[in-house]
């Protein structure tokens, strides 16, 4: 049996902190439900869902006390269709990261639970952003109502090795969204919490393709962590002295 949790904490380097701002990029094939997912996350109709985007679209709003930025990218077709318009979608996928500076906290790979997915296209497009992209990616399943009595874990198992390997590549991070019931804000709050868990597991880093920036941010994170540990230790020592 293929066992998953959807909420990976094993790699977390410290307890997740609530973020005041979360930047998200939506990636996926055509008709995967990306734009609808963006509307569900923001809680209102911001993205047009009835036509194919030719370029990235960025929208913002406040959700659950956080400032949220969502970038919707053009959906890709199956591999043979990509060659019909070679660079357009790929260029927009690469550009998406720069539209939410200094970089997205999460890339959400959107997959319709009811549709065929071209796994080769998924790999081709995400790895345009480097191998590191998987550490910052969560699989977002849409049309969750169509699962009916099937759990998402059962669905992943039944879909076979390709989907299982993809979810594992993303650190076993996944979430189910029901775009029909946008009034259920719990599903969105839980997604934001999973993003915060992932960010904590990535040393507090957002995704960037700039290696120098990654090293600088990681050094900054480690210094802040050491400072917090030092303050905690000083408080503990003062408390011990007070109790003597």
DSSP string, 193-222: HHHHHHHHHTTTPPP-S-HHHHHHHHHHHH
Same domain, 122 and 46: yes
Structure tokens at 130: 């480097």
Is the pLDDT at 24 greater than 60, yes or no?
yes
What interhelical angle do 34-42 and 186-201 show, nearest 10?
100
Give the model's pLDDT for residue 218.
58
Q: Residue 110: give the domain boundaries.
A: 21-208
Same domain, 48 and 111: yes
Give the model's pLDDT for residue 243.
83
Is the pLDDT at 212 greater than 90, yes or no?
no
Same domain, 221 and 202: no
Site of tokens 């200094």: 102
Same domain, 176 and 227: no
Residues 30-57: what's their mean pLDDT?
90
Please tell me which residue, 2 or 164, carries the higher pLDDT value. Answer: 164
Same domain, 183 and 70: yes
Residues 58-84: what's their mean pLDDT?
82
Same domain, 184 and 218: no
Confidence band, pLDDT 50/70/90 cuts, at residue 221 = low
What are the tens digits of pLDDT across the range 80-132? Answer: 444 436 478 888 998 999 999 999 999 999 999 988 788 888 988 998 888 88
The mean-pLDDT minimum among 102-106, 187-191, 203-207, 224-228 falls in 224-228
CB 43, CB 185: distance < 8 Å: yes
CB 188, CB 40: distance < 8 Å: yes
Give the global pTM.
0.80
Same domain, 95 and 163: yes
Dihedral in degrees, nearest 10, Cα atoms 128, 129, 130, 136 = -140
Give the model's pLDDT for residue 85.
60
| Residue 10: inside a domain | no
| Residue 170: inside a domain | yes
Quote the CA–CA distance of 218 and 124 in Å, as a whole number: 28
Same domain, 56 and 72: yes
Q: What angle do CA 163, 166, 172 make, to 5 degrees?
A: 105
| Residue 12: inside a domain | no
CB 196, CB 18: distance < 8 Å: yes
Please tell me which residue, 128 or 77, carries the higher pLDDT value. Answer: 128
Give the model's pLDDT for residue 80.
43
Domain count across the chain? 2
How many residues are there in the chain?
Answer: 244
Q: List the one residue out of 197, 177, 208 whose CA is nearest residue 10.
A: 197
Radius of gyration for the chain, computed over Cα atoms and rounded to the nearest angstrom: 19
Residues 179-196: what's their mean pLDDT?
89
Same domain, 221 and 165: no
Q: What is the mean pLDDT of the chain?
A: 85
Handedness of CA 166, 98, 75, 152 (dihedral sign): positive
What interhelical angle do 152-159 and 161-169 show, nearest 10?
120
Q: Any idea what the CATH number is for the domain that residue 188 is in?
A: 3.40.50.300
Quote the CA–CA distance of 6 and 153 in Å, as a whole number: 9
CB 152, CB 176: distance < 8 Å: yes
| Residue 150: inside a domain | yes
Quote the CA–CA distance of 233 and 17 in Å, as a whole number: 20
| Residue 219: inside a domain | yes
Confidence band, pLDDT 50/70/90 cuts, at residue 147 = confident
Please tell me which residue, 220 or 240, carries the higher pLDDT value. Answer: 240
Same domain, 222 and 181: no
| Residue 4: inside a domain | no
Same domain, 96 and 180: yes
Q: What angle do CA 85, 82, 126 make, to 5 degrees?
A: 120
Quote the CA–CA distance of 93 and 56 in Å, as a whole number: 8
Same domain, 120 and 226: no
Is the pLDDT at 215 greater than 70, yes or no?
no
């Amino acid at each position: 049996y293929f066992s998953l949790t959807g909420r990976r904490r094993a790699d977390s380097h410290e307890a997740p902190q609530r973020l005041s701002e979360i930047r998200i990029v939506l990636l996926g094939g055509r008709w995967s439900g990306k734009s609808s997912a963006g509307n569900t996350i923001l809680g209102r109709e911001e993205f047009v869902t009835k036509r194919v985007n030719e370029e990235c679209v960025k929208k913002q709003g406040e959700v659950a006390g956080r400032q949220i930025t969502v970038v919707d990218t053009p959906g890709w077709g199956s591999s043979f269709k990509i060659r019909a318009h070679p660079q357009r979608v790929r260029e927009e996928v690469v550009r998406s990261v720069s539209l939410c500076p200094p970089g997205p906290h999460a890339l959400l790979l959107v997959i319709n639970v009811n549709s065929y997915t071209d796994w080769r296209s998924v790999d081709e497009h995400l790895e345009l952003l480097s191998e590191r992209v998987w550490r910052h990616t969560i699989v977002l399943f849409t049309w969750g109502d169509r699962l009916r009595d099937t759990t998402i874990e059962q669905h992943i198992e039944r879909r076979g090795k390709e989907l299982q390997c993809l979810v594992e590549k993303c650190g076993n991070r996944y979430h189910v969204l029901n775009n029909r019931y946008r009034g259920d804000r719990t599903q969105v709050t839980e997604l934001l919490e999973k993003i915060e868990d992932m960010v904590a597991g990535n040393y507090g880093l957002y995704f960037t393709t700039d290696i120098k920036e990654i090293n600088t941010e990681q050094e900054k994170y480690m210094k802040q962590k050491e400072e917090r540990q030092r303050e905690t230790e000083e408080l503990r020592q003062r408390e011990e002295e007070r109790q003597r």
